[in-house]
Every structure is written in structure tokens, then in C-alpha cells.
Amino acid sequence: MTRYSAGLLASTAFIALGTAGVFAYSSGSPQLSFVRISGVYETSTSTQPTVPAVKHIPTPVPVKAIYMTQCAAGTPSFRDDLTKLIYETELNAIVIDIKDYSGGIAFPSDDPMLAPYVSDKCGANDMKEFVKELHDNGVYVIGRITVFQDPLYTKAHPELAVKKASATSTPWKDHKGLSFIDVGARPFWEYIATLAKESYAMGFDELNFDYIRFPSDGDMKDIYFPWSIGKGKQVALEEFYRFLQAELKLTGAVLSADLFGMTATNEDDLNIGQVLERTLPYFDYVAPMVYPSHYPKGFHGYTDVNANAYNIVHFSMSEAVRRTLATTTATQSFTHTRIGTSTPAIYEKPSYAMSVMRPWLQSFDYPVAYTPAMVEAQIKAVNDAGLYGYMFWDPANKYRSLRQVLQQE
């Protein structure tokens, strides 16, 4: 473990004795310790003043979650509306932006590595108290960290950015005008790990990493990756996964990764570095974003993907389960051992529990109005694939159709 936080003093100590033992860190006085008892971490202090307890609750089986933007988290009316939906239905978890597409951090921080990037537009000054309120009501709290898409950090550190091939000192931007950090930029990895550790210490139970990929949706003919030269995208991304797991392992935090939906059915890396079998070894949960609207026309023979919500999700998640359970793969990885000398190569891989798969599902209108029947079809498709956990996405935080489905049950 190379650091707990960039802001800790030279006297910082870090102790961890496995997930059932003690998780402690100190920075001068007082000394804090986190002791896990039956899946809950209680914070105590060896000196005055007393530090309020920070609790973590166990992962529900299964997780049934909705997403909340950091702007909604900082707006009482939005916040109360969404928490009421959770409290009154079968939902048991929420995903809250820790760092969103803008790069802004959703809560204040005294850490000098993080403080410059605290959002001045959105977020919640009382995030710690909000997380505690959710815990008091039995809600599992997942913090979403948008990783390599980060215009704010790119502006401050253009030397770490993905560049234009035609002008190698100029950051590349996608069609929305958003810039990315190069996956291979190791100094940025430290920033992400520091943010993750502070978020977990605040009370977030699970850390969900999104945009863990190389960019797309821009001029891909004029793009240059100065920090990833000489490496395949799959390799560069798996190196980041391995670093992240090593940095966060001793905290006891649950880790999850968001992947493009087609990683469940494609064996290539979709030109963004994401491969299902290269992701599985490093995260507790993997979340393919199987939004039917995001599949290309003709996928699996469906001319109108939006008219086939059940079929798209069922096929995708059935394939994800099959590959998760498999003990062999054609995909190379740091953790896979080649079997024999056949061509094409076959590798041995661990078989993971199918419950590792927890998809993102669609409850937003794009490019058609998403009806309650379409929402129900996705849930049924997940269940028919042998899975029961899910996370629903609506960037507007309205969940119009999902509400109707949940409230009629």
C-alpha cells in the first residue's frame, strides 16, 4: 500500500488485518481505528475528541439499486423523492456520483490531492450525513467514480491527457467536447485510489468505477495515447485494474466495474480495452451496461433493438453468465495460464460465481419512450438468465416507468 491519502502527514500509519480484522489509519492525533463486526465497520478513537462512527453495511443479496447524480444528491427535493422511492419499494441500494462526467468531486475534501477538484456546481456538503441517513434506513450505498473521462483533471494536467495525433500537445476531445486522461497515465491512478479511499472512509459501502476505458465517439483517426505507447489497450487497462485492486484490497471496500454491454457478447475489446475475462479477477461485481437502446441496429439479428428489450438483455446476460462460470477462455490475461500449444490459444481461468454479474438496466427515454412493460421485460430477462440483482440508470433521476413497475407490486 503506497498511500492512504496524499494529505496525510509523514507520521501516517496504515494497518489492516484482512476483511475480518482491523482497518486503521492515523495522521498524528487522534488515532482512528475501523473494526469490522458482522459486516459493519465502527470507528473509535484512542484520544479525545470522540470521532463519530463510520458504518458500512453488508452487500444485499441481491442488490436492487437506482442511480442518483451528484446534483440530485445536493438538492433536497430530488434527494427526498428518490430516497422515498427506495424506502417504499423493494429497492435496497443507491448509486451516487462521487466523481461525475465533469471530473468534479461531489463532497468537500481537505486532502490537497482532491481539494482542487471538488465541484463548485453540484454535490452535497453533507454527503457524510446523507450516507449515514441511508445506512440508518438499511440502504446500501454505492459510490460511482467516473475514471478516465475527466475534463477537470485534464485541464489541470494536460500532460496526462489523451492527445490529438495531429497536434500532440493538444488534448483530444470526443464529439461532446469532453477530454480523457490516458489510461496509461500512472500519476492519475494515484489520484483515483486516493479518492476511492477517502470515499470509503466517509461511509460509501461499494466503489463503482465507470469510464474505465479508452475513449470512443470522437475523431478516432486523430488520436494519440502518449502514456500507453507500445501497449495494447487490453494490457494497459488490466494494469490499471491490478493497481486499483492492490491499492484498495486492505480497506475491505467492495469494488465494482461498469463495462459496455457488448463486452458480454464480444470477445474483442471493442477498441476501448474492455474485455470481460480481463475484468473479472479484479472486482467483486461487474456491471455490463445492457441498455437496449445502445445496441446497434442488427445486433443478434434485431432490426429494431428497442422493440426487443427482453431479448437483448436476456441474450447479453446469459452470455455474461456463461463466460463468468467458464473455466477456459480464448482471452489472454495476467491471471490466465495457457493450456497446451493449440492454435488459437486456450487459457485456463477461474470460474466465478454468476452473482458477480449485476447489470445496469434502462429506465430513461432514448430514443423512444421507455414504458413500464419495457422495464419489466428487462427485469424478467435478468431473472431468466439466473440473476436477480440490477442497477437502473436514468440521468434525469425521474424513473417514471420504473416507479410504476415498483409501486404496483
Architecture of the domain delimited by 58-407: Alpha-Beta Barrel (3.20)
CA–CA distance, 395 with 385 (Å, rounded to integer): 26
CB 67 within 8 A of CB 142: no
Which one, of 283, 359, 318, lies nearest residue 67 by Cα? 359
Q: Is the pLDDT of residue 15 over 80?
A: no
pLDDT band, residue 44 (cuts 50/70/90): very low
Q: What is the pLDDT of residue 223?
A: 97
Q: Is the pLDDT of residue 202 over 90?
A: yes
Q: What is the pLDDT of residue 54?
A: 84
- CA separation (Å) from 155 to 108, 118, 158, 250? 20, 14, 6, 32
Residue scoring higher pLDDT (165 or 43): 165
- CA separation (Å) from 58 to 19, 38, 102, 205? 12, 8, 30, 8
Q: How far is the first Cα of the chain from the last one, in angstroms, to the nearest whole number?
A: 47
Phi, psi (deg, nearest 5) at residue 23: -115, 115
Q: Is the pLDDT of residue 26 over 90?
A: no
Q: What is the pLDDT of residue 363?
A: 96
CB 359 within 8 A of CB 33: no
Q: What is the mean pLDDT of residues 300-321?
A: 96
For residue 376, the tally of other CB atoms under 10 A from its CB is 17
Q: What is the mean pLDDT of residues 389-393?
A: 98
Host H or E run for residue 96: strand 93-99
Q: Which amino acid, residue 382?
A: V
pLDDT band, residue 408 (cuts 50/70/90): confident
CA–CA distance, 291 with 340 (Å, rounded to integer): 38
Q: Is the pLDDT of residue 74 over 50?
A: yes
pLDDT band, residue 409 (cuts 50/70/90): low
